[in-house]
Amino acid sequence: DAGFHGTMQWFERNLELRKDPAQLVAGTKRIISVRLDYLPENTDCIEILNDPNKAYISRYALGRDYHKLMRKRLKRLGDWFSEQIAPHGFRVFSDSAPILEKHLAEKAGLGWIGKHTLLLSRSAGSWFFLGELLTDYPLPISTQAEDSRCGSCSACIDICPTDAFKAPYELDATKCISYLTIEHRGPIPEEFRKPMGNRVFGCDDCQLICPWNRYASLGDPEFRPRNELDKKQLIDLFQWSEKEFLEKTEGSPLRRAGYAKFLENLAIGLGNSEEKISQTLGLLNEKIGAHGPILDEHIQWAIKTLNDRASENVSCNV
């Protein structure tokens, strides 16, 4: 309601359906909320963030897109219930319907909503996806919501590169790097370009700093990094053709951004990089005029930023 959802107009639509899923699927009596862990092992998150020449891609996007996998497993659960417990009508959802899934999961006892607005679990931290099975079977309700265990900790708020948290539990998506690099359509505001650093698809800072993520479970093997996306240099990804992008992101969340948006994010990353300036400037100039005015604007910013830094270094050495 405060306008913090940016250009995600879908967030405004169907507010009543969000509050009452029974209006979404007639006859719904219960909602089964589930989690699917995704944390990949040995992805060296901090090391990548500290290397300005590497591309940081959010941990959730390194492997397979979770939507189809979650729906497939929920469907299997619904079918099992029909066979083993009682026939029932059901539908499954995974980030694909106007459902307040974090609040439902909290009510179901899967955890509590942390100050970073993500669901937290004592046994899994926050590295997991949520899914829902809506059923017309009147299952007993046996779980109570868990009390918040964040206490006085404010690490997630303090570490945010763009100060996107207006207050605990209150995120301004228009300042969030995850929103800016995935959902936002248009030039990324200049004030957020340097704080982005090498984060070219999403941001995990508020999760990486969270003490509860020391207890996170390793995720499903389906979410292991593909095509060495956890090891790529910015300059290498920027040289991908559109064909390469489509081939290497088949079945990946990276497809959501699209090729042009991916290049736009990478251009900012290159502007913040410490690669050889002559090579980087050459590659940036090659892309001017190739994929629209937004990319051109980001490239011009990157070129100016690199040239300004080079001039500063020369001045310091005089």
Distance of CA 91 to the CA centre of its chain: 25
Contacts for 274 with CB less than 8 Å, ≥ 6 apart: 52, 53
Q: Can you say whether the dihedral through the CA atoms of 51, 56, 58, 63 is positive or negative?
A: negative
CA dihedral 99, 104, 106, 107 (to 10 degrees): 160
Measured between alpha carbons, how far is 268 from 261 in angstroms, rounded to an integer?
11
Contact present, 134 and 25 (Cβ < 8 Å): yes
The C-alpha R_g of the chain, in whole angstroms, comes to 21
Selection from 310, 116, 124, 109 nearest residue 216 by Cα: 124
Parallel, antiparallel or unpaired: strands 165-167 and 199-201 = unpaired
User: Which region, left, alpha or beta, applies to residue 52 given φ > 0 means left and ψ of -120 to 50 means alpha?
Assistant: alpha
95 catalytically annotated: yes
Measured between alpha carbons, how far is 170 from 4 in angstroms, rounded to an integer?
9
Encoding tokens for residue 86?
Answer: 């009682």
**Helices within the chain (DSSP H only):** 15-19, 45-49, 66-84, 101-107, 155-159, 177-178, 193-196, 205-208, 234-238, 242-248, 259-271, 277-287, 293-317
Measured between alpha carbons, how far is 5 from 68 in angstroms, rounded to an integer?
25
User: Of the listed 95, 136, 236, 296, which one is catalytic?
Assistant: 95
Active site residues: 95
